[in-house]
Amino acid sequence: MLYKFIVRPILFLQSPEQAHYFTFRAIKFVSKIPFVSSIFTSMYSFNHSDLNVQIGNLRFNNPIGLAAGFDKNAVLVDEFANLGFSHVEIGTVTPKPQSGNDKPRLFRLPQDQAIINRMGFNNDGADVIAERLKKRKSKIIVGGNIGKNKVTPNENAIDDYVYCFERLFDVVDYFVVNVSSPNTPNLRELQEKEPLKNILATLQSINNKKVKTKPIFLKIAPDLTVGQLDDIVEIVQETKIQGVIATNTTIARTNLKTNEDVVKSMGAGGLSGKPLTERATAVIKYISEKSSKSFDIIGVGGILSANDAIAKLDAGAKLVQLYSGYIYEGPGLVKKICIELAQKNNK
């Protein structure tokens, strides 16, 4: 209640990007005050053995994670460990640092509980982020979401993915191959069968030569056709990566309550939040059934309540991740989902 009626209205007076960085600075500052971290943990965490999830060699305390794009540069990993999440996915990380697209590039649609972004993989680069992650203190599971630099042509994209994979290997717990962001020109072309298979097979080959392998996931768009989803299932099974993250943001603008002219004025970008809820869940269900549950699925897209999270888990996801829902509903959402999940499991 405090967040929805006091904190959020104040944050929403600022532009979305300003509010984001203000919040990060505030969390960083207050977390340095003695006992604040333990207070946050007691306020926002909920632990129950029934919530534990095993994926590969990783044990998650609960199924709720923070989606990629929120803490791109891994600056608040330890702090998010105190806010109830079982894992944080950092990135998208590219080999070289890049500033991303021109501002403004982040927009709220409050009537739709949605966000449009065209950030463009703004990040500090793999080298800086790897060094930062070496200093983390908490044991929260960290995923490394990796992509290619904007200036890298698609025919050389595999080199960027390999570089990020090698550079982050010792400092993250699992990897996510991002070929589905709509905000890097031509990136989604890499979702086509042959280039995608080449990237995943190459990374899995490198992975298999390591002393201890790391789970690799593929993040897919919600805008894929049934035929493309069938190809994804086939490629994941063939390359034997861990699974799929479904889904990224959508380029669709259908059934929005926000005035059409207002939406058009925001321009291009990926839409996330409530309008994506049903489509993301449908993609999860289709992939789960098509693959006969032969690989793991992480569900993302429009989770604003415990029921939304449960629907994705029931559809076949083993974990879920929050982004827009966290902005609209606040930090209490994680604990709320965990409590309802535990109650559901104990009925």
- 305 is annotated as an active-site residue: no
Quick one: DSSP state of residue 67?
P
**Residue 271 in tokens:** 């839409």
**What single letter denotes the amino acid at residue 47?**
N
Measured between alpha carbons, how far is residue 100 from residues 69, 96, 121, 131, 192 in Å?
Answer: 12, 12, 6, 21, 24
Question: At CA 227, angle to CA 181 and CA 190, rounded to 5?
Answer: 35
Each residue's pLDDT tens digit, 7-45: 999 999 999 999 999 999 999 999 999 999 999 999 999
- CB burial string 280-294: b at 16+ within 10 A, e below: bbebbbbbbeebeee
pLDDT at 1 (0 to 100)? 75
* φ, ψ of residue 305 in degrees (nearest 5): -155, 170
Which of 269, 321, 312, 281 is closest to 107 using CA atoms? 269
Q: Which residues contact 179 (CB under 8 A, 6 or more apart)?
A: 147, 187, 188, 190, 191, 196, 199, 218, 219
Residue 31 sits at φ, ψ, to 5 deg, of -70, -15
pLDDT tens, residue by residue, 200-211: 999 999 999 999
The β-bridge relationship of strands 114-117 and 270-273 is: antiparallel
Q: Which of 45, 181, 288, 324 is catalytic?
A: 181
Q: Which residues contact 241 (CB under 8 A, 6 or more apart)?
A: 200, 203, 204, 215, 216, 217, 218, 295
Each residue of 120-173: pLDDT tens digit? Answer: 999 999 999 999 999 999 999 999 999 999 999 999 999 999 999 999 999 999
Which of 202, 178, 80 shows the shortest CA–CA distance to 121? 178
Task: Confirm if 289 and 314 have CB atoms less than 8 A apart.
Answer: no
Which of 273, 319, 329 lies closest to 85 in space, CA to CA? 319
- C-alpha 274/C-alpha 113 separation (Å) is 6
Please report the sign of the dihedral spanned by the C-alpha atoms of residue 27, residue 28, residue 32, residue 35: positive
Q: Is the pLDDT of residue 195 over 80?
A: yes
- Render pLDDT for 230-250 as a digit per residue (tens, 0 to 9): 999 999 999 999 999 999 999
* pLDDT at 84 > cutoff 80: yes
Confidence of residue 302 (pLDDT cuts 50, 70, 90): very high
Stretch 303-314: mean pLDDT: 98
Q: Cα dist. 78→46, 84, 125, 176, 298 in Å?
A: 17, 11, 20, 20, 22
pLDDT at residue 169, as a whole number: 98
Instruction: For the chain, give the percent of residues with pLDDT over 70.
Output: 100
pLDDT digits (tens, 9 = 90+) for 261-275: 999 999 999 999 999
Question: What is the pTM (predicted TM-score) of this model?
Answer: 0.97
Q: Are 315 and 324 in contact (CB under 8 A)?
A: no
pLDDT value for 76? 98
DSSP state of 14: S
d(CA 71, CA 329): 18
The mean per-residue pLDDT over the stretch 173-199 comes to 94
Single out the residue of 158, 278, 288, 270 nearest to residue 221, CA to CA.
270
- Please give the pLDDT value at position 346: 81
Residue 345 confidence (pLDDT) above 90: no
Burial class (CB in 10 A: 0-12, 13-18, 19+), 40: buried
pLDDT tens digit sequence for 278-297? 999 999 999 999 999 999 99
Kindly tell me if the per-residue pLDDT of 347 is higher than 90.
Answer: no
